[in-house]
Amino acid sequence: MQRPSPHPSWSRLARPASGCLLVVAAALVQAATPAQIAAGYAASAGAPADPERGRRFFTTTQGHEWRCASCHGELPTQAGRHAATGKPIAPLAPAFDAQRFTDAAKVEKWFHRNCNDVVGRPCTAAEKADVTAWLLTLRP
Ligand code: HEC
């Protein structure tokens, strides 16, 4: 004979609820807003971001020959051009390209690669927070 479940109403509720949680968690891993990514870097840095410091970092040399602006342009509201290959690069400022800063893993991958080219080391969380905060100030 089958024993009645001790919490029949719970088990009925539990399934759809955990299904929803999974969907939400998967969405968080894959997609984000630029503001969320910026907030994440500021939280890791443990200090508020400084957009003006981000602008200076982006537009001046940081030890190596290339600057961020060498490929992304002085004001990344427009397409840039790769300093070595000449290939066009879509605007980096999120207000000018809706794909920008919506995929945390992509953002991390390119920060890592580009900071190594420009600074010769990975950028700190504070540097990433500053640059992202500056890019968010650029609006049409
Ligand atoms: C040698 C050329 C080059 C330099 C220098 C460069 N970048 Fe990039 N960057 C690229 C390319 C190429 C991509 C990937 C193609 C694309 O997304 O358009 C990219 C993508 C990115 C992305 C990904 C954003 C997203 O969500 O799509 C970020 C962030 C970024 N760069 C930041 C920087 C910063 C900060 C610096 C300076 C430390 C810098 N880049 C210097 C070429 C460069």
Cβ atoms of residues 94 and 72 within 8 Å: no
Integer Cα distance of 103 and 29 in angstroms: 8
* pLDDT tens for each residue of 70-82: 999 999 999 999 9
Residue 119 DSSP one-character state: T
Q: Mean pLDDT, 10 residues at a time, over the chain (140 residues)?
A: 53 51 53 94 97 98 97 97 97 98 97 98 98 98
Ligand 1, CB cutoff 6 Å, lining residues: 66, 68, 70-72, 82-84, 89-90, 92, 100-101, 106-107, 110-111, 114-115, 117-118, 131
Is 71 strand, coil or helix? helix
Integer Cα distance of 130 and 62 in angstroms: 15
Question: Which among 72, 96, 108, 131 is the best mutation to test ligand 1's pocket, defined by most ligand atoms within 8 Å of the CB?
Answer: 72
**Residue 122 confidence (pLDDT):** 97
pTM given for the model: 0.84
**Residue 55 confidence (pLDDT):** 98
**Residue 13 confidence (pLDDT):** 47
**Residue 10 confidence (pLDDT):** 47
